[in-house]
Amino acid sequence: MTPDEAWKILEGADRLCDEATVHAAIARLAGEITARLKDRYPLVLAVMGGSIFFAGHLLPRLRFPLEFDYIHASRYGSATSGGRIVWTVAPRENVRDRTVLVLDDILDGGETLAAIRDRVSSLGAAAFHSAVLTDKDIGRDKPIVPDFVGLKLPNRYVFGCGMDVSGAWRNLPEIYAVKDS
């Protein structure tokens, strides 16, 4: 994608959530997560690269001891629709006997997060929790229900706050949807 193409996508997009709404959702999630996990010394795993925005804003608000690591699993790669799970960095043995909290940018179809849950559980985690910045309403049941959800989104192609459109605009502090054609 060229910079001009990226700008045209943004200029034609619909803003779904402004920056204040995103930050309010993250603050609320921090309170909910703290209430449930503050005494557990959880291992927090960020799913790269989409959750980097979410993790970067959430972690400073979690005012309790935790350990941080990352994993990298994707069904998308450079595509816009999901395929098989590809593990660039799989969960490590440090999940054994731990309370694990996985952070992700979006729960779309749920297959990636369900695969992460299954992998973490198979490695012996004591408990699995998940927090997503956004949950897309796709009109059907998903294989996993996150423990913590920041924002509900319509079934549209969204970007910003860690989510990209053809590699661009993960850095935006708001959430946009590509204009319906």
- Residue reference for tokens 């959750």: 51
Is 18 in the active site?
A: no
* Number of residues that make up the chain: 181
28: three-class secondary structure by DSSP? helix
Residue 162, classed as helix, strand or coil, is coil
Ramachandran assignment for 97, one of left (phi > 0), alpha (psi -120 to 50 degrees), beta (any other)? left
| Angle (nearest 5°) at CA 112 between 108 and 118 | 135
Which of 105, 108, 135, 164 does the annotation list as catalytic? Answer: 108
d(CA 125, CA 135): 24
Q: Which residues are catalytic?
A: 108
